[in-house]
Amino acid sequence: SLFIEWVTGAFNEITGYDPSYVGSMATLKDTHPDDLDRVRADVQRTLQNQPTVTEYRVFNNRTRNYVWLSISRRPVWDEQEQRVVRFYSVAKDITERKRAEDALRQSEARLRSLVETQTAFVVRTDMDGNYTYCNRPFLQRYGWVKADLIGTSYLATILPADHEKTRQTARACLSSVGEPVQVMLRKPRQDGGIDFTLWEFVALRDAEGSVSEIQCIGFDISEQVRAEEALQEERQLFIGGTTVVFKWRVASGWPVSYVSPNVCEQFGYDPRQFLEDGLLFQSLIHPDDVERVTAEIRDHVRQGRSQFEQEYRLRHGSGDYRWVYDFTTIVRDAEGTVKHFQGYVQDITERRQARDLLMEQNRLTLSLQREKELNATTQRVIATLAHDLRTPLAVIGSAKEILSRYFDQIDPEQRRERLETIGKQLQYVTELLNDLAQVTGASLNQRAPQLAPVNLVTLCQITVKDMQASVAAKHRLNFTTDGTLHTIIIDDVLVSRILINLLSNAVKYSDEGSEIRLELASREDRIVLRVIDQGIGIAPEDRARIFEPFYRVQGVGDIAGTGLGLSIVQDCVSLHGGTITVESAPGQGSIFTVELPLSRA
């Protein structure tokens, strides 16, 4: 064991040792665990009479940090005892040096990896973002965009999604001249892939001291980016689809002069079909879009623009049309004559479908809302009127009673009075019924079905969701579909009236907590909608009558209702050329099945 005999104040300072350690046994408890083996080995060598130097970390108990020490040990050999009896250690704090070395090593490693793996791209642009200089590596990599990039916009070599970012970086470096600003930019490759490049933009002053150029130095870091799994997902999000590169010449029908190899995977074409068989780009554009696309291109050329974006349908190799986003660059020669167009084309069919679905959802939600309100108003108006009819009818009833029973006992004057009462009340009833017809007639029965393509699944989903929201946690509403129906031709107003009324009955006539299910399926040429509940059920004698207006089953008096819901459903179903049936038994729940003719969009 080693005993500490003496230490200087400076040693205490560096290591945070307490001077009382002097005279005690030296321990390695404060030595960094990773350095223990080296320290032990070097101490052993010193004990064998060899001077040693060790660089290691010691925990400073005062600052609670590790400090790097360089300790050189000089042994003292005792001839008599034939052993090392003590050694002098001189320690130096080398923490600063170590830190600097580390930083250097790291930045060296980073730079070395970039420099070793590739050469830097160097480009300069003017204040309009046009290239004034491109070094050879840049031209070799991106010269495919245009053999001579000088004078063209730097945006032509950058993925459209990164254009705004590029402009921002240019603005940032112009606002602090001489300061480098970093940015990662994605560049389309000739094969349709994407390069990830890291750039440093610096605004440069010319001889007169004014800023006229931005110098950009960049590295291709695609390898590094691809290696970083964490970025994968983000990349997907950013790119949002693969770009296929098309170049077409200014000639009749737009002959394709170049197409990236991934055209096969994305659009199902063999690249040779374009280049050898002379497939024309114009012939791939949907007949309904070709005129618009051509006119737009003509306008952009006339306005002297160099880039523009458009959306249109492009024919897939299978014959289907796909919606595409096309970012086109107009390539001109030195005289300014348009030579060809270069489009970065992305399939956005799914994206558009998602967008359309959202719009359809919004439209159906609105129409459902209107129907719900109308349905409620209609029923309320009718309920009030039905109530108001009872009084005149009671008066008519009693007048008629008196007349028929006491006809001979009462005098002609009294008879005329009774008849007049009946006449007045009848008139009142007629007026009431006219009002009723006014209010409801137009909105209900006298409506011809208005057929249009509607996503029935969406309609069912939002109706169920809406109903669920209004009953909160009292019932569980579920929607299932066999997946055979999506966009079909129906009258969405009629169908939503059917659904609203059947679902709200299911809710009204079943216990809290029970399940209510809406099922959508197709059977041959029929749409089958089923509303299933586990409620109170309906007796056989009532089943035949519940579709009559105002018919309500005896004993449901305390559940609010007009007896009109199912007759409205019946009307809507008939208007739609369909049928409605019910399977039910008291206490066994009910299944209402609506079948409508199916015609696909």
| CA dihedral over 536, 542, 547, 549, signed as positive or negative | negative
Tell me whether residue 259 or residue 564 sits nearer to ligand ADP (CB atom).
564
Q: How far is the CB of 584 from ligand ADP (least distance, A)?
A: 7
Tell me whether residue 314 or residue 546 sits nearer to ligand ADP (CB atom).
546
Helix (H, G, I), strand (E, B) or coil at 79: coil
Q: How far is the CB of 562 from ligand ADP (least distance, A)?
A: 5
Tell me whether residue 75 or residue 537 sits nearer to ligand ADP (CB atom).
537
Q: How far is the CB of 456 from ligand ADP (least distance, A)?
A: 22
Tell me whether residue 188 or residue 565 sits nearer to ligand ADP (CB atom).
565
β-strand pairing of 65-78 with 83-93: antiparallel
Q: How far is the CB of 569 from ligand ADP (least distance, A)?
A: 7
Question: How many residues in total does the chain contain?
Answer: 601
Tell me whether residue 157 or residue 562 sits nearer to ligand ADP (CB atom).
562
Q: How far is the CB of 463 from ligand ADP (least distance, A)?
A: 16
Tell me whether residue 442 or residue 585 sits nearer to ligand ADP (CB atom).
585
Tell me whether residue 552 or residue 576 sits nearer to ligand ADP (CB atom).
552
Tell me whether residue 565 or residue 578 sits nearer to ligand ADP (CB atom).
565
Give the Cα separation of 136 and 586 in Å (integer): 87
Q: How far is the CB of 474 from ligand ADP (least distance, A)?
A: 15
Q: How far is the CB of 391 from ligand ADP (least distance, A)?
A: 22
- Please list the residues that pair with 488 across neighbouring strands: 454, 600
Tell me whether residue 160 or residue 565 sits nearer to ligand ADP (CB atom).
565
306 DSSP assignment: S
**Structural tokens at position 164:** 């705004």
- Please list the residues that pair with 149 across neighbouring strands: none
List, as own/partner pairs, every contact residues 84-93 make where C-beta atoms lie below 8 angstroms and the sequence separation is at least 24, other chains included: 84/46, 84/47, 84/48, 84/49, 86/5, 87/46, 87/47, 91/11, 91/14, 91/15, 93/14, 93/67, 93/68, 93/69
Tell me whether residue 255 or residue 565 sits nearer to ligand ADP (CB atom).
565
Q: How far is the CB of 237 from ligand ADP (least distance, A)?
A: 46
Cα three-residue angle 187-189-195, rounded to 5 degrees: 45
Tell me whether residue 166 or residue 505 sits nearer to ligand ADP (CB atom).
505
Q: Concatenate the DSSP letters of all residues of 311-350 into one string.
A: EEEEE-TTS-EEEEEEEEEEEE-TT--EEEEEEEEEE-HH
Whether the Cβ atoms of residue 9 and residue 17 lie closer than 8 Å to each other: no
**Structural tokens at position 504:** 């709200």
Give the Cα separation of 460 and 472 in Å (integer): 18
Tell me whether residue 75 or residue 589 sits nearer to ligand ADP (CB atom).
589
End-to-end CA distance of the chain: 92
Give the Cα separation of 352 and 359 in Å (integer): 10
Q: How far is the CB of 583 from ligand ADP (least distance, A)?
A: 11
- Please list the residues that pair with 56 across neighbouring strands: 69
Residue found by looking up tokens 């008066």 in the block:
395
**Contact set with ligand ADP (CB under 6 A):** 505-506, 508-509, 533, 535-538, 546, 551-553, 556, 561-567, 590
Query: HSE of 106 in the Cβ direction (CA atoms, 13 Å)?
Result: 5
Query: HSE of 198 in the Cβ direction (CA atoms, 13 Å)?
Result: 12
Q: How far is the CB of 410 from ligand ADP (least distance, A)?
A: 41
Tell me whether residue 140 or residue 377 sits nearer to ligand ADP (CB atom).
377
Q: How far is the CB of 385 from ligand ADP (least distance, A)?
A: 15
Helix (H, G, I), strand (E, B) or coil at 412: helix
Give the Cα separation of 116 and 431 in Å (integer): 95
Q: How far is the CB of 533 from ligand ADP (least distance, A)?
A: 5
SS (H, E, C) 136-188: HHHHHHHCCCCCCCCCCEHHHHCCHHHHHHHHHHHHHHHHCCCCCEEEEEEEE
Q: What are phi and psi of 99, to 5 degrees?
A: -65, -45
Q: How far is the CB of 290 from ligand ADP (least distance, A)?
A: 53
Q: How far is the CB of 449 from ligand ADP (least distance, A)?
A: 21
Give the Cα separation of 239 and 236 in Å (integer): 5
Tell me whether residue 73 or residue 475 sits nearer to ligand ADP (CB atom).
475
Give the Cα separation of 392 and 432 in Å (integer): 10
